[in-house]
């Protein structure tokens, strides 16, 4: 399952979110590449209209999304990332789970452990209810 540049870039937009938890806009991404890419060029990449960006554009995108440029070329590494991130994408698309995760980022370790215990207990209760 070889992923195209378009699929890889769309994956980065959907999984590497801005600090407010939303996808970066094309304008934010262009600014984050120090103008190496324009918002319209990024749009064309995401729509598959541009399929072979130059090395400097790949490096700028990789730097912006904090991934290695090899992400775009190393198929084995990308495959593993895509498999893992299908679950993450599902998590991100659930508004309540997303809200819980964003709020948990602000907690100290002790409180994170407490919340994790609550979630595990809730899961156990749900499993017991489904058995009854």
pLDDT tens-digit map of 37-91: 999 999 999 999 998 999 999 999 999 998 888 888 876 655 566 555 666 767 7
Q: What is the value of pTM for the model shown?
A: 0.60
Helices 39-46 + 5-15 axis angle, to 10: 110
């Amino acid at each position: 399952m070889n992923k195209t540049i378009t699929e890889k870039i769309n994956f980065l937009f959907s999984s590497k979110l801005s600090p407010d938890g939303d996808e970066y806009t094309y304008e934010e991404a262009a600014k984050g590449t120090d103008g190496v890419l324009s918002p319209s060029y990024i749009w064309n990449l995401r729509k598959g209209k541009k399929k072979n960006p130059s090395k400097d554009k790949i490096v700028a995108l990789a730097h912006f999304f904090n991934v290695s440029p090899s992400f775009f070329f190393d198929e084995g590494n990308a495959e593993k990332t895509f498999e893992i991130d299908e679950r993450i994408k599902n998590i991100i698309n659930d508004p309540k789970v997303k809200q819980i995760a964003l709020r948990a980022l602000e907690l100290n370790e002790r409180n994170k452990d407490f919340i994790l215990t609550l979630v595990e207990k809730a899961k156990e209760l749900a499993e017991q209810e489904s058995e009854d």
